[in-house]
Homo-oligomer: A and B are copies of this chain.
Amino acid sequence: MVNHFFKKKKKYILLTDITKLCNFDAKFFLKNQKIYNVGNLREAKSNEITFFDNLNYEKDAISCKAFACITNERFAKFLNKEVMPIISKKPLLDFYKVVKIFYPDSSVDNENIVSFKISKKFSKKNISIGSNCLIDQTVQIGSNTKIGNNVFIKPKVSIGRNCIIGSNVIIENSFLGDNVIIKSGTLIGQTGFGFYIENNKRIKFPHIGRVIIENGVIIGSLCTIDRGSLTDTIIGEFSSIDNQVQVAHNVKIGHHCMIASQVGIAGSTIIGNKVQIGGQAGISGHLKIGNNVKIGGKSGVVKDIEDNQTVMGYPATNIKSFLKNNK
């Protein structure tokens, strides 16, 4: 999990420190084994650590390449035998703790508000930038992009060519492709709403994920697109989002989707391609919505939807049942 938005604050963590943190009695470990980073189950490298606590990812567990994996007693048997299992009662929370040791800034909001080094490099390339903007000098902006007034773009963000960014927009920890339109007042790349409780204290999830906005995406006004916690939040190419939409952390939206105003999509839900979502619909977290699905306005979706279905209602059901029940 390479993420150039955060500086790794430790070069490595000793594996024994991780096992202690997990309350795992690892008698057989090499005492001095070093772990150099965190990664997700699919991408973690052989000197990194990952976690596994959801059988939806069984395939990734089998082919995992990490050095060690924080998991629970039941799931350890699905792991690639070459990966060292670290048994924990709360694999995700313990993994979060490791993430925070490497990236302590990743759960902090607005940590670098006033440390911008304002860029003056955009005078070429036919880029236009409005008044009172704060754009860090590490930001990349493609040619012919127009930026409104009072826009804040935080370090290392990248914005493609021919984009239009409205006024009062804030972008952080994000990559935007070409021909992207972000309308005024929208906020992209902030930390999401995720907490765990430990010893009666509310502790914020780390958010080392990013927001990836692909080519040709349109996002309306006053939207909030949170960045991912451990994976990225992604909006696929040529998808269109109307005003006042909430896209929570880790959500992945496919290409050519149409999402109307005031929709809310809860954390980690995956939306297919060419999905149409009517105004004010809400989609619960951790769901999978198939390709070409149509979701009626104001629907409340609480379970997975297969490809090509049309649903409506709260809870959302097949449109025919909904209409029959509401004649």
Contact = CB atoms under 8 A, between A and B. Distances in A.
A249 B266 CA distance: 27
A120 to B, nearest CB: 15
Interface string A218-250: 001110101000000000001010111010100
A300 interface: yes
A104 interface: no
A81 B166 CA distance: 46
Interface string A260-274: 111010100000000
B170 A168 contact: yes
Nearest to A282: B280
Interface in A161-187: 164, 166-168, 170, 181, 183-185, 187
B166 A149 contact: no
Interface string A271-297: 000000001101010000000000001
A57 interface: no
Given A110-B148, A110-B184, A264-B280, A244 B244 contact: yes
A201 to B, nearest CB: 9
A128 B114 contact: yes
Instruction: Tell me whether chain A's interface is mostly helix, strand or loop, or mixed.
Output: loop
Given A168-B168, A261-B264, A297-B282, A113 B146 contact: yes
A220 B243 contact: no
A170 B193 contact: no
Nearest to A192: B242
A179 to B, nearest CB: 11
Interface of A: 108-110, 113-114, 128-132, 134, 146-150, 152, 164, 166-168, 170, 181, 183-185, 187, 190, 193, 195, 202, 216, 220-222, 224, 226, 238, 240, 242-244, 246, 248, 256, 258, 260-262, 264, 266, 279-280, 282, 284, 297-298, 300, 302, 313-315, 326
